[in-house]
Structure 1
Amino acid sequence: MKNMIMRSIQNKEKIEMIYLSEDNQATQRIIRVLKINNEMIIAYCYTRRTIRTFKLENILSIGSVRKRMGA
């Protein structure tokens, strides 16, 4: 997971993330990571269209953005 986060920072790549919010709601987001530390990442969230902070412990999965058919 950390390798993909670091690659997002270095290459300015979008990644897809499943995240567990404070109220235990799982959300799927497309982000571009700007910074990382031991506890959280700061990323531009394309879903919310703003910079957001995400706790590393609440990230359920991270992967490459999948291309949509016809796009």
Structure 2
Amino acid sequence: MKEQLIKAMQRNQLVNMMYVSKTGGITKRRIKIIKMESDLFQAFCFMKQAKRTFIIDHVLAVVPLIHKARDVV
């Protein structure tokens, strides 16, 4: 999982993330990763509109957002 997070940070990508909170609840977040540390990372969370710190081991899934170019007719 850590490798996927590092790639997303290096590529400056937005990602959708499934995450287990401290209370055990599962949340879906859209984030932009700012900084990686040994077992934590900081990201801007678009749901909370704020910078948050996440635990890497609590990440269940990460999916990069890919924007497709649309043709104008």
TM over 0.5: yes
- SS of residue in 1 equivalent to 2:6: helix
Kindly report structure 1 stretches of 4+ aligned residues shifted beyond 4 Å.
none
Structure 2 residues not aligned, in runs of 5+: 68-73
Aligned-residue sequence identity (percent) comes to: 24
Structure 1 residues not aligned, in runs of 5+: none
Q: Distance in 2 between matches of 1:35 and 1:52?
A: 11
TM score, norm. by length of structure 1 = 0.82
Larger radius of gyration: 2
What RMSD over aligned residues (CA atoms) do the two structures have, in Å?
Answer: 1.5
Aligned pairs, number:
67
TM score, norm. by length of structure 2 = 0.81
Q: Distance in 2 between matches of 1:30 and 1:66?
A: 13
Q: Distance in 1 between matches of 2:46 and 2:14?
A: 9
